[in-house]
Amino acid sequence: QLQLQESGPRLVKPSESLSLTCSVSGDSISNSRYYWGWIRQSPGKGLDWIGTIYYNGITYYDPSLERRLTISIDTSKNQFSLDLRSVTAADTGVYYCARCPATICFFDSWGQGTRVTVSS
């Protein structure tokens, strides 16, 4: 049974970095059949794709976030991470990690999500 679990600070100050980790159990993150992704949901809004990473470290980012974003993978820990720099209140929301089949990315498994607030 695949499980994904997000972790990280719930409160981040403006201009600082938002760092989250997704811990995966029930499947190897080195499985070449899948991408691993981050999706954000701003308060009361819809879903926005942030970025995706493959087991070999290849990353794909939303162009609007690319300058501030790094997604990385740690196969030894079966985890992948998100680092979003220079955050503002607009980065407040629920952050989900999820899995999708490589090259045909619909998300078949999701974490429960973690709520992050950007505020001083």
* Interface residue list for another protein (CB under 8 A): 35, 37, 46-49, 52, 60, 62, 96, 98, 100, 103-108, 110-113
Q: Give the count of beta carbons closer than 10 Å to the beta carbon of residue 69.
A: 18
Give the C-alpha separation, 92 to 115, whole Å.
8
Whole-number minimum distance, CB 15 to another protein, in Å? Answer: 28
Whole-number minimum distance, CB 76 to another protein, in Å? Answer: 24
Nearer to another protein, 80 or 96 (CB): 96
Whole-number minimum distance, CB 69 to another protein, in Å? Answer: 14
Six token digits for residue 37: 């992704």
Nearer to another protein, 16 or 110 (CB): 110
Q: Give the count of beta carbons closer than 10 Å to the beta carbon of residue 34.
A: 22
Q: Give the count of beta carbons closer than 10 Å to the beta carbon of residue 108.
A: 11
